[in-house]
Structure 1
Amino acid sequence: MNVDNAKKQNILIVHNYYQIPGGEDTVVANEKKMLEKHGHKVILYSRNNAELKQMSKLQKVFLPITTVFNPRTYRDIKKLIRDEKIEIVHVHNTLNLVSPAVYYAARRMKVPVVQTIHNFRLLCPGATFYRDGHICEDCVEYGLKCAVKHRCYRESKIQTLACVLSTAFHRMTGIYGKINYICLTDFNKQKLLGLKQIKPERVFVKPNFVECKNEYIPEKDRKNQFVFAGRLDKLKGIDLLFEAWKHMGEEAPKLIVCGTGPMEDWCKSFIRENDVNIEMRGFVPNNEALKIIANSKALVLPTQWYEGFPMSIVEAFSVGTPVICSDLGNAGSVVEEGITGYKFRYDSIESIMSAIDKMREKPLNKEKIKKIYEIKYSENANYKILNDIYTGISD
């Protein structure tokens, strides 16, 4: 049956906005728009952590409790399900104000829940599996108490303790085993299944999608350049990338760097002192950055952590551009070696250089990469996956 001719479920999207806007907010907006475009009734229930600034002292005293279970959320969600005849509750973020109370409310109303996993918070209170300059999975191996010791959430023992207590409480109730999950990659799925109460049949994989707005440029018409687009800091591996370009010497192609960040001054000094073939562009709007990516041999992503879901990779695929990235975490899970890009050991300058040389010697089929984008990461492909998940999940 054509998915646009099937019965359309009424969807309640639940999202807690952070004080600083991020990628999750964009995903929520994109999926809401997509679902409405395909005929679904979509209701958005949201809170914003900016509300924390307006809280009274008494409300702040109770915040550690409402972070674990917010009675207001429980009441609101039950009422919305009843009044709007909601058939699926799709949760994105619950920290700090929504809280996992949304799961219990939906269960009480006998409506299935699906939670999109944007980060690693169910296993790591810091949500990143990264601290003190290295990947860390101590909370998986030794227990959540490790997060409190290292102040992993906002560098605060008290706030970290609140996250730990919430996670521990809801693990104890077994609620995590009674809802469904959307992971963005297979890597994410395997990490999530480390939480034993979650069953594989309740975990689905659906990547984020991007709309392609730029024209595809054939290989022969592209410039002899590579591009880095992202925040300039050690977490993104910008220092290793610059060292690799230095070691390539006069043979190095041009590297265009789009972005700003804490290492921006270091990057400028490095270029001056080493006379490398690197051009800093500073902040570049997304649509302009995509034009640069479309005209380049490859996007380079030397990330030093697992990442959430690197949208820059899918944006590169949308214009047929391959990606050279660290063989690590979600980035390594998205890039297919020798098909959509090449991978290198995340902490090795020599490995980065080898991957760059390989791309120059064996350019990948850019029309094929564009086709893979259309099959896996376009809006139409994404809707089919999401609709199939909604149809298949059970309470």
Structure 2
Amino acid sequence: MNVSATHIPEVSTAHLRLESLEKRYGTFRAVKALDLQVNRGEFLGFLGPSGCGKSTTLRMIGGLIAHTSGRIIVDGKDISSLPSHQRNMGIVFQNYALFPHMTVEENVGFGLRMRNWPAARIRERTARMLETVHLGGYGSRKIKDMSGGQQQRVALARALAIEPAVLLLDEPLSNLDAKLREAMRSEIREIQLASGITTIFVTHDQTEALAICDRVAVMRDGHIEQIGSASDIYERPATSFVADFVGRINRLESIQNDDGTVRVGETHVAMRKAPSGPIVTLIRPHRVQLFDASTSTTTGHGFEGRIKSVSYLGDVSQYLIASDLGLISAERSSIGNERRYAVGDPVKFGWDADDMMFFSTEGPKQ
């Protein structure tokens, strides 16, 4: 029987919609009733730890694994029941899944041959895609003769060649070294912007997600914990999990007082708003201010400690401070005349009240 997509009324301008999408393995819910809208031309990242459901969601969108319930809608058509080859999705896998016995040109044109394109049109389209990924002139090479970064580009060209409705990228940079990853993520973003294709990008690397995605969906235990721009996710995390997972963080057990202050250790720090009951206070290391031990500081900067370790990272120095609050991480610029501290130096430290983030230990931020 020929399965066809079912047209449904448009309820939004979204190019891709997931409605209560779920995947269960027996009683285990790998993805839990996921609702999501992706705009046309948007570059959306799924970010989260291993096992959170991000790759499972992408594979359900692509038809590589069957969904248990819910709907996948593209351009107003329910494609949930269509097999993978009828969904018009371009997919780049973590291991690229290239054919080693074929040339670069044959790999890029494979999907077009399966769609019975004329030979001349295949050659034209393949040549254009190789130019797009900066591999013009490499068409006759064997895959085994290409570097990891070049193979990644071949896989991207093959996915784009079929003119897909949506491009799915499943951790495509994880097999590359750090410097090449940085270069390739910029190239992928450049190509995506030039083509205007709606793209879903799965990664566990927060730097990748924050650097190139229009929006990031942080996943945890099969559901989306928060979705927003890179700055929203980093500066305004919705839950302590997001704050912990995205970026470096200091976690301080705290108690809210009746006078509008929060007690951190033995110090009372003024705050604007916090959830009631037991709370945890979070501070980004780059928001921690460091002072010489002899410096007189303002209220809220009364913590004392001693430098336990120093990590020099070029433009930034990371300090680990031993204190009554436990180990506190601080970051300062290594450029210019910034004061540098050595292991064993006594210091004072603190932060501005507006830089503190408060979460209930019993649930999400109120």
Q: Which has the larger radius of gyration?
A: 2
Normalising by structure 1, we get a TM-score of 0.28
Task: Give the strand-richer structure, 1 or 2.
Answer: 2
Task: Give the helix-richer structure, 1 or 2.
Answer: 1
Normalising by structure 2, we get a TM-score of 0.30
